[in-house]
Chain A
Amino acid sequence: MSQPASAYKDRQFLAVIGDEDSVTGLLLAGVGHVTQPPDSQKNFLVVDAKTETSAIEAAFDLFTTQRKDIAILLINQHIAERIRHRVDTYTAAFPSLLEIPSKDHPYDPDKDSVLKRVRRLFGE
């Protein structure tokens, strides 16, 4: 159902979970934000081959459920692939979850959780 305005009026940041290049580029565009010092939280997470899946899941949880100031969560598709079950079961409207392609992994529409839903609805 549609939420009251309070559910999203404070949401004004974008969050990123991605590889180094994607994060760098998006930060250059000016989406990066670090909260005030006592518990300075970044709104981005750089994932490389050595990053644990649990760390990605923790960041995913942090951005989707704990922080209330994030409107859009961008996640690289190959990283979304690593926590696919979490991404597929995420159905909330806010923050909206967007899978983006990365430099090394071109965009594959068949893996996108939303496009999958679109396909299913139209019976393709």
Chain B
Amino acid sequence: MSGSGAREAVFPTRQSLGLMKSKLKGAQTGHDLLKRKSEALTKRFREITRRIDEAKRKMGRVMSIAAFSLAEVTYAVGGDIGYQIQESAKSAKFRVRTKQENVSGVFLPQFESFTVEGSNDFGLTGLGKGGQQVQRCRETYARAVETLVELASLQTAFVILDEVIKVVNRRVNAIEHVIIPRTENTIKYINSELDELDREEFYRLKKVSGKKQRDQAAGEKEREVALAAAEGKENVDLPTRAAKDTADSEDLLGDKDNEDVIF
């Protein structure tokens, strides 16, 4: 009964029984809370994965439109502008900042794009011809990058949530399958030990009182026998014998007194 399963190393006392009981209660509350947290996170997680799937498809479309507009630029400018653009890129106009969103105690960062006002690095691109196409291409790509940023924040949330859900589930399982059974085992063990002590104590008391009764009965009998003998002798015999007998009976009475005190 108490030997089955792991239990904590405690002394089987009433105090540790109380401790274990409160621990079990705490573990059950914690388990409920964590389970609810895990469910809330999983719900969020499913929603995010669905949105990622959609956003990825949207990104495919947006990027192909953007690539087409770049092809237009190449055609209008009449040459490759890649090198020129790579060389003139100096400071990022398009940047992202992160803010946090709190989902049941988990902070999910979200990227938010913003543009830095300032000089345009590509002011001279397409100056000769195709300026309009370059402008349009820039706008198309800016929109595409916004989609990408949105997708990136979804993906980051996905990665973080994935990890957090794993951790939470691990905790839920640890409490459910390790901590709660172990605490229950400990409580059972303490209870059985305390019962055992109770039984032992009861048995001991019974034994002691039984012994007392036996001793008393024996003493009573002996005294009666002695009294009877003394009376018989008094009737027949010498006063000296009688005196000795009374001394004996006094002794006997003395013993009995002592026993009574003990009892």
Which A residues form the contact surface with B (CB < 8 A)?
Answer: 1-2, 5, 8-9, 11-14, 20-34, 42-44, 46, 71-72, 74, 91-94, 96-98, 100-103, 106-107, 109, 112, 114-115, 117-118, 121-122
> Contact mask B45-84 → A, CB, 8 Å, 1/0?
0000100110011011001101100110000000011100
Pair count A-B, CB < 8 A: 166
Contact of B63 among A11, A13, A34, A101 (CB under 8 A): A101
Bound CA span A29–B138, Å:
5
- For residue B125, give the distance in angstroms from its CB to the closest CB of chain A: 8
Q: Does B93 contact A (CB under 8 A)?
A: yes
Bound CA span A42–B91, Å:
10
Check B94–A29 contact: CB distance below 8 A. yes
Contact of A12 among B64, B97, B100 (CB under 8 A): B97
Bound CA span A27–B155, Å:
23
In the complex with contacts A28-B134, A29-B94, A72-B111, A114-B155 CB distance below 8 A: yes
List 6 A-B pairs, Cβ < 8 Å: A2-B106, A14-B92, A33-B92, A97-B155, A102-B67, A118-B53
Contact of A96 among B59, B70, B91, B152 (CB under 8 A): B152
Chain B contacts for A29, CB-based, 8 A = 94, 138, 141-142, 144-145
Bound CA span A31–B56, Å:
20
Highest count of chain A CB atoms <10 Å: which of B60, B81, B94, B164 = B94
Check A32–B121 contact: CB distance below 8 A. yes
In the complex with contacts A24-B82, A107-B63, A44-B89 CB distance below 8 A: yes
Chain B contacts for A112, CB-based, 8 A = 56
Contact of B152 among A23, A32, A71 (CB under 8 A): A71
The closest CB in chain A to the CB of B60 belongs to A107
- For residue A82, give the distance in angstroms from its CB to the closest CB of chain B: 19
Main secondary structure of the interface of A (DSSP, over half): mixed
- For residue A11, give the distance in angstroms from its CB to the closest CB of chain B: 7
In the complex with contacts A1-B164, A25-B137, A71-B111, A31-B145 CB distance below 8 A: yes
Which B residues form the contact surface with A (CB < 8 A)?
Answer: 49, 52-53, 56-57, 59-60, 63-64, 66-67, 70-71, 80-82, 85-86, 89-98, 100, 106-109, 111, 115, 121-122, 125, 134, 137-138, 141-142, 144-145, 148-149, 151-153, 155-156, 158-160, 162-164, 167
Chain B contacts for A92, CB-based, 8 A = 159
Bound CA span A102–B67, Å:
8
Check A100–B63 contact: CB distance below 8 A. yes
Check A32–B90 contact: CB distance below 8 A. yes
Contact of B82 among A9, A11, A23, A34 (CB under 8 A): A23
Chain B contacts for A98, CB-based, 8 A = 148, 151-152, 155
- For residue A23, give the distance in angstroms from its CB to the closest CB of chain B: 7
Check B156–A96 contact: CB distance below 8 A. yes
- For residue B200, give the distance in angstroms from its CB to the closest CB of chain A: 52
Check A28–B60 contact: CB distance below 8 A. no
- For residue A10, give the distance in angstroms from its CB to the closest CB of chain B: 9
Check A31–B94 contact: CB distance below 8 A. yes
- For residue A116, give the distance in angstroms from its CB to the closest CB of chain B: 12
Contact of A118 among B52, B81, B151, B152 (CB under 8 A): B52
Highest count of chain B CB atoms <10 Å: which of A11, A43, A92 = A11
Bound CA span A50–B122, Å:
27
Bound CA span A98–B62, Å:
15
In the complex with contacts A34-B89, A94-B156, A24-B70 CB distance below 8 A: yes
Check B98–A8 contact: CB distance below 8 A. yes
